[in-house]
């Protein structure tokens, strides 16, 4: 199986100890997933690994199997706490499912990452604030609050940039995790979304219990370095939003 061959090669030729599996569909095909997990055990690869998953594609038994083979953390796309917005995105999940899946994952001893998007088409400021409060209820190990970046060719790009000349678009800001909101013609201004992202990060990570929980889940030097980098990125985003707020108030 190609997956197992590549893992064995990384272990043998590059002394890999940890893998990050960036396949967003990794847990959809349970038969394939089981073959990979069983193969990792049979080959005694002894690799620690992180992957992304969908809320509705794992259950307790699958999560147990993944943990047994070395999975230590899973990233879930929760996106929003509003069921209407989730349906609009084509996400076949509910907020209740998201909360239950992440709770089960945590109970089994796996770290969790939850990803949220602010600035969806038609999304109001109160809906964004509700998503941030919902993130606290979900209580994942890490939470990522991102501004919507509608790439060209998508329905959302057409909604936000219809009639906007291409040479007037700040393409340098079209990055997954950035400081500057690129949205135009949004129901909430880009400035307000930037401030909401800053508020969300401060609100989530300033809680002493949650911060301690993050720190106590650092198991390797690799994780420590990445947590430091992530923390620096969040602080940079917060300071940038504060500078824009001060400029806005002057």
Which structure tokens are listed for 208? Answer: 């002493």
pLDDT value for 250: 65
pLDDT value for 79: 97
Q: What are the sequence ranges of the domains in the chain?
A: 2-249
Is residue 4 packed enough to be buried (19+ CB in 10 Å), middle (13-18) or exposed (0-12)?
A: middle
Dump pLDDT digits (tens) for 216-245.
Answer: 878 878 788 887 888 888 888 888 878 877
Three-class secondary structure of residue 114 per DSSP: strand
Q: Is the pLDDT of residue 249 over 80?
A: no
Percentage of the chain surpassing pLDDT 90? 66
Dump pLDDT digits (tens) for 148-168.
Answer: 999 999 999 998 998 889 898
Parallel, antiparallel or unpaired: strands 142-147 and 111-118: parallel
The average pLDDT across 44-54 equals: 95
C-alpha triplet 59, 51, 234: angle, nearest 5°: 115
Is residue 167 packed enough to be buried (19+ CB in 10 Å), middle (13-18) or exposed (0-12)?
A: exposed
Dump pLDDT digits (tens) for 64-105.
Answer: 999 999 999 999 999 999 999 999 999 999 999 999 999 999
Measured distance CA(198)–CA(157) in Å, rounded: 24
Confidence of residue 132 (pLDDT cuts 50, 70, 90): very high
Measured distance CA(201)–CA(197) in Å, rounded: 6
80: Cβ contacts below 8 Å, ≥ 6 apart: 86, 89, 95, 116, 117, 120, 123, 127, 131
Measured distance CA(234)–CA(186) in Å, rounded: 24
Strand partners, 175: none
- What pTM was computed for the model? 0.91
Question: What does the DSSP assignment read for 54-66?
Answer: -GGG--HHHHHHH
* Answer CATH for 2-249 from 3.40.50.970, 1.10.260.40, 3.80.30.20, 3.90.1580.10: 3.80.30.20
Strand partners, 74: 51, 112
């Amino acid at each position: 199986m190609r997956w197992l061959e590549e893992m064995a090669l990384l272990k043998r030729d590059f002394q890999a100890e940890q893998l990050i599996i960036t396949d967003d569909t990794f847990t959809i095909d349970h038969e394939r997933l089981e073959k990979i997990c069983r193969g990792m055990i049979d080959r005694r690869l002894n690799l620690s690994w992180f992957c992304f998953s969908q809320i509705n594609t794992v259950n307790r038994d699958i999560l147990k199997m993944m943990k047994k083979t070395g999975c230590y953390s899973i990233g879930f796309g929760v996106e929003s706490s509003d069921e209407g917005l989730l349906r609009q995105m084509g996400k076949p999940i509910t907020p209740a499912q998201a909360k239950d899946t992440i709770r089960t994952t945590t109970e089994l001893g796996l770290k969790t990452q939850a990803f949220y998007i602010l600035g969806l088409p038609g999304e109001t400021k109160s809906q964004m604030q509700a998503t941030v409060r919902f993130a606290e209820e979900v209580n994942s190990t890490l939470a990522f609050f991102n501004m919507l970046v509608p790439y060209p060719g998508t329905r959302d790009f057409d909604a936000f940039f219809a009639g906007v000349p291409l040479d007037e678009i700040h393409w340098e800001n079209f990055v997954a995790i950035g400081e500057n909101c690129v949205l135009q013609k949004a129901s909430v201004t880009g400035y307000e979304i930037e401030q909401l992202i800053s508020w969300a990060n401060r609100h989530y990570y300033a809680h002493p219990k949650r911060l301690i929980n993050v720190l106590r889940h650092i198991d390797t030097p690799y994780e420590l370095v990445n947590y430091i980098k992530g923390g620096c990125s969040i602080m940079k985003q917060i300071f940038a939003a504060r500078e824009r707020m001060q400029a806005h108030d002057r």
